[in-house]
């Protein structure tokens, strides 16, 4: 069988290739460089964090004939023959845990290495040894021959007798940082020609919970079911939660909307995401929100409430076990913050928080205040369907010359606008560029979700102002960079775009109808 799973294919063979655990690597490398080698080591930590890999790397480097700066050469005979060397003895204590298994080691430990400097025993899952096995092993572990080294590995250090721990140098392995896992996944995808979206690799890093082996196993499996690793594939196979879904949970808490909160938690539950990973992601999201609140000095009451939620979820995470109904416990924790009397948050503060940012240009502008002030003149029924129609119509007859023509008109308009009612909104369009332009439609792309929301709330007034200034008849739409990237990922350059009717998304009150007719003409208006 030629195929190797990714976690075996990309198992590190030297300390430079080992991901994370720098504190362990540095000590072991310096021990080799300074020739200060202990007779027994114990590696402890969660699964998939590199304990066995580190043991093998350490053993390989100790017996390397040309190691430099604590790094094995990989070319000498000992490096090449490492996996078949009689001087490297690997044992799995999960299945070889009896006193007879240990007596076999004790009886053979005095035999000198055949062609290496050290005879090295790597015993995995060492906590599985029986008490009688430990007793038989203790004397040999304390005083082995000078050319014998024991490397023990365990995921459950509490089960290892203290008498054994006191005879070993102990190294604690930590869960691998999600950023390091992401970088490693990205590197392997590039080597294996696996197509991916970065959001998906970040999600795999979350799902792995700091375990590199799990991350590579997930990547390996997903690469067999899809030509590209994306969030949809992960959601279908493992369950996941997006940033927007977590934002919706927080919004429901802010608005004291218990029905929405319960509904959103149940929707996430149905994806099958592990409860601990879900809580970890919520904590990560909420902590970032709290940091932003402090940076931007947004609502002390909201910050205090968020801190209480974070403390509550962190406590919940430590209480969960295999018998816990995690989703029910999470639901109870979160609904306890609905109508929380200890931190009264005003409607204005809620709006400011939900906007996700205070936009700073030459002055600070409150996003929601602008939106609220513009409601009386917002003629369009702004919804995703309307936005999609505008996007489609922008591609009808679009061309480079129209884009150049419009850009000149737009820049001239921005420079000379005097209407104070419009001017404050147009401050937000600094850096926003027309992306697609036809003879009548313009599609703008902005890096900010809030800018998009604010400008679209005043869209009709901006169109009227611009067209009056330039004697034109342009219709516009503003979308976020994320929406643009999503749209372009499925863009078909051979598609023939046809103009779609948008009249049902124009407000049917008499004043709005009159304005629409004046702007677009009677032939385009068909409101029942």
Q: Where residue 228 sits, what CATH number does that domain have?
A: 1.10.8.60
Q: Give yes or no: residues 348 and 407 share one domain.
A: no
CA distance 475 to 463: 6
Q: Which domain holds residue 106?
A: 6-172
pLDDT band at 352 (very low <50, low <70, confident <90, very high): low
Q: What angle do CA 469, 475, 479 make, to 5 degrees?
A: 115
pLDDT band at 43 (very low <50, low <70, confident <90, very high): very high
Q: Give yes or no: residues 168 and 201 share one domain.
A: no
Q: Give yes or no: residues 277 and 209 share one domain.
A: no
Domain-terminating residue out of 130, 155, 172: 172
Q: How many domains does the chain have?
A: 4
Q: Give yes or no: residues 316 and 444 share one domain.
A: no
Q: Give yes or no: residues 160 and 285 share one domain.
A: no
Interhelix angle for 510-520 vs 459-470, to 10°?
Answer: 40
Q: Give yes or no: residues 168 and 183 share one domain.
A: no
Q: Give yes or no: residues 305 and 428 share one domain.
A: no
Q: Give yes or no: residues 316 and 192 share one domain.
A: no
- 441-466: per-residue pLDDT in tens? 999 998 777 778 878 888 888 888 88
* C-alpha dihedral, 302 to 306 to 308 to 309, nearest 10°: 140
The CATH number assigned to the domain holding 429 equals 3.30.300.180
C-alpha distance from residue 115 to each of 51, 82, 111, 150, 424 (Å): 26, 11, 12, 18, 80
The CATH number assigned to the domain holding 295 equals 1.20.272
The CATH number assigned to the domain holding 60 equals 3.40.50.300
CA distance 31 to 15: 13
pTM: 0.58
- 461-471: per-residue pLDDT in tens? 888 888 888 88
Q: Give yes or no: residues 149 and 263 share one domain.
A: no
Residue 142 has pLDDT above 70, yes or no: yes
* DSSP alpha helix (H) spans, 241-324: 243-254, 258-269, 275-296, 300-319
Q: Which residues contact 10 (CB under 8 A, 6 or more apart)?
A: 188, 216
pLDDT band at 172 (very low <50, low <70, confident <90, very high): very high
- What's the pLDDT score for residue 421? 66
Residue 106 has pLDDT above 60, yes or no: yes
- The answer as to whether 518 is a domain residue is yes
Residue 276 has pLDDT above 80, yes or no: yes
Domain-terminating residue out of 188, 208, 237: 237
Q: What angle do CA 226, 229, 232 make, to 5 degrees?
A: 85
C-alpha distance from residue 163 to each of 2, 93, 139, 168, 196 (Å): 44, 18, 10, 9, 49
Domain-terminating residue out of 134, 151, 172: 172
- What's the pLDDT score for residue 524? 39
Q: Give yes or no: residues 425 and 492 share one domain.
A: yes
Q: Give yes or no: residues 207 and 300 share one domain.
A: no
CA distance 487 to 485: 5
Q: Give yes or no: residues 34 and 168 share one domain.
A: yes
- The answer as to whether 62 is a domain residue is yes
Most confident option among 51-65, 285-299, 329-343, 502-516: 51-65
CA distance 293 to 306: 10
């Amino acid at each position: 069988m030629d195929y190797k799973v990714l976690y075996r294919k990309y198992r590190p063979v030297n300390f430079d290739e080992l991901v994370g655990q720098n504190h362990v690597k540095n000590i072991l490398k310096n021990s080799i460089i300074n020739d200060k080698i202990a007779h027994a080591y114990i590696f402890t930590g969660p699964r998939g964090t590199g304990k066995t890999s580190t043991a093998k790397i350490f053993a390989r480097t100790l017996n390397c004939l040309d190691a430099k700066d604590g790094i094995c050469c990989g070319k000498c005979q000992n490096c090449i023959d490492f996996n078949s060397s009689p001087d490297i003895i690997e044992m799995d204590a999960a299945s070889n845990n009896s006193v007879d298994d240990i007596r076999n080691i004790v009886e053979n430990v005095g035999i000198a290495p055949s062609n290496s400097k050290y005879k090295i025993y790597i015993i995995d899952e060492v906590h599985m040894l029986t008490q009688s096995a430990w007793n038989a092993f203790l004397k040999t572990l304390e005083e082995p021959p000078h050319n014998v080294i024991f490397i023990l590995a365990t995921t459950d250090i509490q089960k290892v007798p203290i008498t054994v721990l006191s005879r070993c140098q102990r190294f604690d392995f930590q869960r691998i940082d999600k950023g390091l896992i992401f970088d490693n996944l990205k590197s392997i995808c590039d080597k294996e020609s696996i197509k991916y979206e970065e959001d998906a690799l970040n999600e795999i890093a979350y799902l792995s919970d700091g375990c590199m082996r799990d991350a590579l196993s997930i990547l390996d499996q997903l690469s067999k079911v899809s030509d590209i690793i994306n969030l949809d594939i992960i959601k279908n196979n493992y369950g996941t939660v997006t940033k927007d879904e977590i934002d919706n949970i927080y919004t429901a808490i802010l608005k004291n909307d218990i029905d929405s909160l319960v509904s959103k938690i149940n929707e996430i539950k149905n994806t099958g995401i592990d409860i601990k990973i879900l809580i970890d992601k919520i904590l990560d999201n909420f902590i970032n929100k709290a940091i932003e609140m402090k940076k931007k000095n947004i609502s002390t009451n909201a910050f205090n409430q968020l801190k209480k939620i974070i403390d509550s979820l962190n406590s919940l995470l430590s209480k969960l076990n295999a018998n816990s109904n995690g989703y029910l416990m999470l639901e109870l924790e979160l609904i306890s913050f609905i109508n929380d009397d200890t931190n009264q948050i005003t409607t204005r503060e809620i709006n400011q928080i939900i906007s996700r940012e205070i936009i700073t240009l030459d002055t600070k502008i409150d996003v929601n205040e602008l939106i609220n002030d513009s409601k009386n003149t917002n003629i369009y029924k702004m919804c995703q369907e309307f936005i999609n129609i505008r996007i489609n119509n922008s591609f009808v007859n679009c061309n480079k010359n129209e884009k150049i023509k419009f850009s000149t008109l737009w820049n001239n308009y921005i420079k000379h606008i005097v209407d104070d009612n419009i001017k404050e909104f147009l401050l937000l369009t600094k850096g926003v560029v027309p992306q697609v332009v036809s003879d009548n439609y313009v599609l703008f792309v902005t890096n900010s979700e809030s800018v998009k929301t604010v400008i679209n709330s005043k869209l009709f007034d901006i169109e009227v102002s611009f067209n009056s200034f330039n004697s034109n008849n342009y219709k516009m739409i503003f979308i976020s960079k994320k929406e643009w990237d999503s749209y372009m990922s499925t863009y078909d350059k051979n598609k023939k775009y046809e103009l779609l009717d948008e009249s049902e998304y124009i407000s049917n009150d008499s004043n709005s109808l009159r304005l629409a007719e004046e702007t677009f003409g009677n032939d385009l208006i068909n409101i029942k």
